[in-house]
Amino acid sequence: MGRTDIAVTPIGLGVMQFAGGSGVFRAMFPPIEQTAMTDIVRAALDGGIGWFDTAEMYGGGRSERGLAAALDALDVRPGRVTIATKWLPFLRSARNIGATIGERQAALDPYTIDLHQIHQPWSFSSPEAEMDAMADLVEAGVIRAVGVSNFDERRMRRAHAALARRGLPLASNQVHVSLLHREIESNGVLAAARELGVTIIAYSPLDSGLLTGKFHFEPERLKATPIGRRMGLRRKLDRSRPLIDVLEAIAEAYDATLAQVALAWLLDRYGETVVAIPGASRPKHAADAAGALDLTLTEREIERLDEVSERVSG
């Protein structure tokens, strides 16, 4: 993970869905029972996924607690997996990072925080103040590394420089990256990440399931999708169809799924700079994502996906 000593698998599991039915996620994801969360985490671990990404914002700790309970039920010892979480900056200042870290620890207990991230690029404090507060936690042994999320190039560079003054690296920047969202290539984030040695964590790498093809092959599934996601998916459905056709052709050649091909493209296209955190609301989703770890595309297949992706991405 960046220039830290934290090693992660190229694919992790995002557990935002574990906040389903709670807070702002009530309209986005249905509630998931704890037994189902445990089954999802088991499928991820069985498939070779070794780390998980959650956040305070995901249900006010509901996702963190669900993840911790699942790992505990599976007898996963603290330290065996890597855990990343995030601090929510909205209407807060950097001082709140230290003041609320105990809540994050309690939600994840007995598991520790390997990577703590600033969730959004807005707060009452500067990136420099936020990084100083995070650095204090690293020096106190409370967290292992510091990351950011949704930071543009300029803000990421400021965060990196502030941590460097404390003798620490910026581990990561978590942003939306997929075959349909390739802005990191043009907005300076990818180039800066490579220059600075920062890992890009790609969230929504399957665009809320759009790149699995399920909504193209079975449009009626949209009706069962929570309204918070339905409108966005419907707008992208026709535009993304040419990309789905190419994904389907490549998937058939490998006896793989479209999701696995989409994830393999992301890893092969960007190399070690980018890791991905697809989400899962069912065990088979986690198992499917893990299967991408064993899939390597040819240069020609990557080029084919690039060509179509460039025409339909936005």
Q: Please, what is the Cα angle at 1 between 37 and 296, to 5 degrees? A: 75
Question: Phi/psi class of residue 251: alpha, beta or left (left: φ > 0; alpha: ψ in -120 to 50)?
Answer: alpha
Count the Cβ atoms, other than its own, within 10 Å of residue 164. Answer: 13
115 close to 142: Cβ distance less than 8 angstroms: no
**CB-based contact 243:180 (threshold 8 Å):** yes
Other Cβ atoms within 10 Å of 272 Cβ, number: 9
58 is catalytic: yes
How many CB atoms are located within 10 Å of the residue 222 CB? 15
CA distances to 3, 29, 35, 36 from 283, rounded to whole Å, are: 32, 15, 11, 8
Given 58, 111, 203, 270, which residue is catalytic? Answer: 58
Six-digit token pair at 157?
A: 């560079």
* CA dist list (Å): 217 to 212, 214, 238, 241: 10, 5, 12, 10
Q: Is the peptide bond before 110 cis (omega within 30 degrees of 0)?
A: yes
In degrees rounded to 5, what are phi and psi of residue 173?
A: -135, 120
- Chain centroid, CA 185 distance in Å: 18
206 neighbors 243 (Cβ within 8 angstroms): no
The residue written with tokens 């106190």 in the block is 140
Residues with catalytic function: 58
